[in-house]
Amino acid sequence: MRFPALIAALLLGACASVPAGSPELAPGAVPLTLSPGVAWVAAGEGWAEEAKEVFAEAAAYAGTVATSRPDKSWAVVLDLDETVLNNVDYQISREALGEGFTAESWHAWTQEERATLVPGTDEFIAAVNAAGGHVAFVTNRTDTEQLATEKNLAAIGLRRGEDFRVLLTRAYPAAPGEKDARFELVPAMLAVQGFEGVEVVAYIGDNVGDKPKEPGAWEFFCIDQGAMYGAPCATVPGPGQ
């Protein structure tokens, strides 16, 4: 079970002192009724198993792809937040304050570089690289968050060049969140790095916008994030899937 330090602190009761570095609690705000999706992800059990299953399916698919394609001729594109990076501690901190998402608090969270790994991600990425594929990340984190994001990824074992080759953010403050133009750029970026003619064979994400709008010769694998953010791709987000 992954119970973040904040929950543990809150469960100790309102009289417990808040550890240094934890978000300030508003007076009287000791909620401890997390929204269902956040509680599900924070508890970890069913959520982690589901994520591992999806990544295992995606790895099996990549293995099949690899049998019919030359090395380095194919790629997979992953979203980052709630697909590779687990930000449930951010969400808990917001709910503890009785607040929702804001760009400012989110930016501050990204600079802490404390997101953890969504279970199954590392095995999937290792499998793709071992099978001869490329790994690319297309995220709606902003370019002002790119440095901290790469450091956060490295801290959890995902390094540029070894584990992934492309990380496409969007321009601060208001570049489109729509990803199609960046998806189209991935093969071109790999081409100028010496890998011509790469085809993207799979997209992995937690939102409906984590794959191209138009169908193509690729598969999509959906990570259930408990409906914490955006427009989830899970048909019925949350436990029991």
The binding site for Mg ion (CB under 5 A) comprises 79, 81-82, 206
Nearer to Mg ion, 12 or 181 (CB): 181
Question: Least CB distance from residue 196 to Mg ion, whole Å?
Answer: 30
Question: Least CB distance from residue 80 to Mg ion, whole Å?
Answer: 7
Nearer to Mg ion, 131 or 200 (CB): 200
Residue in the structure block whose two tokens are 């071109």: 188
SS3 for the chain is CCCCHHHHHHHCCCCCCCCCCCCCCCCCCCCCCCCHHHHHHHHCHHHHHHHHHHHHHHHHHHHHHHHCCCCCCEEEEECCECCCEECHHHHHHHHHCCCCCCHHHHHHHHHHCCCEECCCHHHHHHHHHHHCCEEEEEEEEEHHHHHHHHHHHHHCCCCECCCECEEEEECCCCCCCCCHHHHHHHHHHHHHCCCCCCEEEEEEECEHHHCCCCCCCCEEEECCCCCCCCCECCCCCCCCC
Nearer to Mg ion, 73 or 86 (CB): 86
Nearer to Mg ion, 81 or 145 (CB): 81
CA-CA distance, 18 to 5, in Å (whole number)? 10
Question: Least CB distance from residue 195 to Mg ion, whole Å?
Answer: 26
Q: Is the dihedral angle over the CA atoms 191, 195, 197, 198 positive or is it negative?
A: negative
CA-CA distance, 158 to 172, in Å (whole number)? 24
Question: Least CB distance from residue 27 to Mg ion, whole Å?
Answer: 33
Nearer to Mg ion, 10 or 166 (CB): 166
Question: Least CB distance from residue 234 to Mg ion, whole Å?
Answer: 12
Nearer to Mg ion, 81 or 163 (CB): 81
Question: Least CB distance from residue 207 to Mg ion, whole Å?
Answer: 5
Nearer to Mg ion, 65 or 183 (CB): 183
Question: Least CB distance from residue 87 to Mg ion, whole Å?
Answer: 9
